[in-house]
A and B are shown apart, each in its own frame.
Chain A
Amino acid sequence: MTRAFFALIGRDLRLAARIGGGGGMAVFFFLVVVAVVPLGVGPDLNLLARIAPGMLWVALLLSSLLTLDRLFQADYEDGSLDLLAMGRLPLELVAAAKATGHFLTTGLPLVVAAPLLGLMLNLEVSAFPALMLAMLAGAPALSFLGIIGAGLTVGIRRGGLLASLLVLPFYIPVLIFGVAAARAALFGFPDGVAGQSLTLLCAVALASLVLGPVAAAAALRANLR
């Protein structure tokens, strides 16, 4: 069962790498967002430094939302989702494997690229560890909450748009605590605020690791009948 789980993740990663929608695309997308922000709010370096953690988090959230419809839709269209549902691997673990693959191709590249993008937004170097730590804790939550929306909308035409609408409410706590952790480290809030936000973020992430696959599997069962 473990082998099937990792085989599924490996398959998703290979697919992402060969079709060209993998990590490179995600980093390119963040670069576009980071390039557009100074054009929108003006090139004031102090202002950019202040909004940098929030901007990077919003970019992470957007890239997660934009790729949601690819999570199950391609497998649904070519029939492999039906095969996965009939296989011996429980549907919950299938969903967990898909979410892990999604995190590795959209969330992880941004965590790696965050220091570079942060430099472009004039973010203090001292804030990088906190920002990256918060992103590393929060990005899996985005993927594991996202599969709920992807599962609910599989098989619906233009389901991607609907999936973003459905999961956005669940993303908001991740965004709030993630940004709070990074900002607290950046502006030297009273001791404990950064740690508190990070703890809450980890709690949200752990809850989503449990809840996401279960809810997504229930949604898939409803949709695949």
Chain B
Amino acid sequence: MSPMTSLSASQRLQAFANPARFMALSARLLAPLWVVSLGLLCIGLYYALVASPPDYQQGETVRIMYVHVPSAWLAMFGYSLMAAASAVALIFRHPLADLCAKSAAPIGAAFTFLALVTGALWGKPMWGAWWVWDARLTSVLILFFLYLGYMALWAAIEEPARAARAAAVLALVGAINVPIIRYSVVWWNTLHQPASVFRMDGPTIAPEMLLPLALMALGFTFFFVTLLLVRMRAEILRHRVRTLRLARAAAGAED
């Protein structure tokens, strides 16, 4: 890439640093995003719950997969996004990156929780126990703790600028856990089944199950992005309210 294009790319990035511009753009994007994500979820749920065949081994319980796998994917995607946004915030001081990381945390935590709960519901009939201390489950539980710690740190520091920097450091350090989760089923030979969709030699899952799974994963991801935009807009508005309040308090102090 020549210096010219990288400069213009950075300029394009700077253009979105303007919160007013982000608000205008996201306002136009929100309605289509809601339609797409809810539409995908409806079609995906129909295929997942009705149109797809039961598994020859697991029977109807296999349908938990269509919620479990997308949630687990978004749990990791959410943290990766948070870590990437934190890196951008620390390096480029992009004002929206902090907001993005902060807004992604509760959504990611919710999907992590959903993945843990659906995993427990699936584990009971398959493995005979709600919870086993296998590498994949333990590392996802640690991921949940990381989300909680990140949110607690934001809540504990009152001054937003300071909280943002401290939280960004924490998010970056915690990012070590993501590859551990990804490869936990490869490195440790445990109860959880190995990857069957994202493999070098192609998916090993039956195509009539892959279609609803892909639809659900896509729908969940669009839903995640939609919620993220909604939360980021709320954060910007909250920031404005805070600024207005501070200005009014300062004006009141002068009178």
Assess whether B169 is in contact with A219, with CB atoms less than 8 Å apart: yes
Residue among B145, B157, B169 making CB contact with A169, cutoff 8 Å: B145
Assess whether A152 is in contact with B145, with CB atoms less than 8 Å apart: no
Q: Is B125 an interface residue (CB 8 A)?
A: no
List B168-194 residues whose CB lies under 8 Å from chain A.
Answer: 169-170, 172-174, 177, 180
- Neighbouring A residues of B93 by C-beta, 8 Å: none
- Neighbouring A residues of B146 by C-beta, 8 Å: 169
- Among A165, A169, A211, A225, the one with the most B-chain Cβ atoms within 10 Å of its Cβ is A169
A211 touching B166 in the complex, CB below 8 Å, given contacts A156-B157, A168-B145: no
- Neighbouring B residues of A162 by C-beta, 8 Å: 149, 152-153, 156
* Number of interchain pairs (Cβ within 8 Å): 55
Q: Is B43 an interface residue (CB 8 A)?
A: no
Residue among A168, A172, A223 making CB contact with B138, cutoff 8 Å: A172
Q: Is B148 an interface residue (CB 8 A)?
A: yes
A222 touching B149 in the complex, CB below 8 Å, given contacts A153-B156, A166-B170, A215-B173: no
Give 1 or 0 for each of B137-175: 1 = CB within 8 Å of chain A CB: 010001001101100110011000010011001101110
- The CA-CA distance from A148 to B169 in the complex, in Å, is 9
- The CA-CA distance from A173 to B142 in the complex, in Å, is 10
- The CA-CA distance from A148 to B177 in the complex, in Å, is 16
- Neighbouring B residues of A34 by C-beta, 8 Å: none
List A119-175 residues whose CB lies under 8 Å from chain B.
Answer: 148, 152-153, 156, 159, 162, 165-166, 168-170, 172-173
B148 to chain A, nearest CB (A): 7
- Neighbouring B residues of A173 by C-beta, 8 Å: 180
A222 touching B169 in the complex, CB below 8 Å, given contacts A153-B156, A156-B156: yes
- The CA-CA distance from A215 to B166 in the complex, in Å, is 10
Q: Is the interface of A mostly helix, strand, loop or mixed?
A: helix
List A40-74 residues whose CB lies under 8 Å from chain B.
Answer: none
A152 touching B138 in the complex, CB below 8 Å, given contacts A165-B148, A166-B153: no
Q: Is A218 an interface residue (CB 8 A)?
A: yes
B167 to chain A, nearest CB (A): 8
- Neighbouring A residues of B165 by C-beta, 8 Å: 218, 221-222
B179 to chain A, nearest CB (A): 13
14 A-B pairs with CB atoms under 8 Å apart are A148-B169, A148-B173, A152-B170, A162-B153, A162-B156, A165-B145, A168-B145, A215-B169, A218-B165, A219-B170, A221-B165, A222-B169, A223-B162, A223-B166
Residues of B within 8 A of A (CB): 90, 138, 142, 145-146, 148-149, 152-153, 156-157, 162, 165-166, 169-170, 172-174, 177, 180
Residues of A within 8 A of B (CB): 148, 152-153, 156, 159, 162, 165-166, 168-170, 172-173, 211, 215, 218-219, 221-223, 225
Query: Given contacts A169-B174, A219-B169, A225-B162, could you give 15 more A-B pairs where the C-beta distance is less than 8 Å?
Result: A152-B153, A152-B170, A153-B153, A162-B153, A165-B145, A165-B148, A165-B152, A169-B142, A170-B174, A173-B180, A215-B172, A219-B166, A222-B162, A222-B166, A223-B166
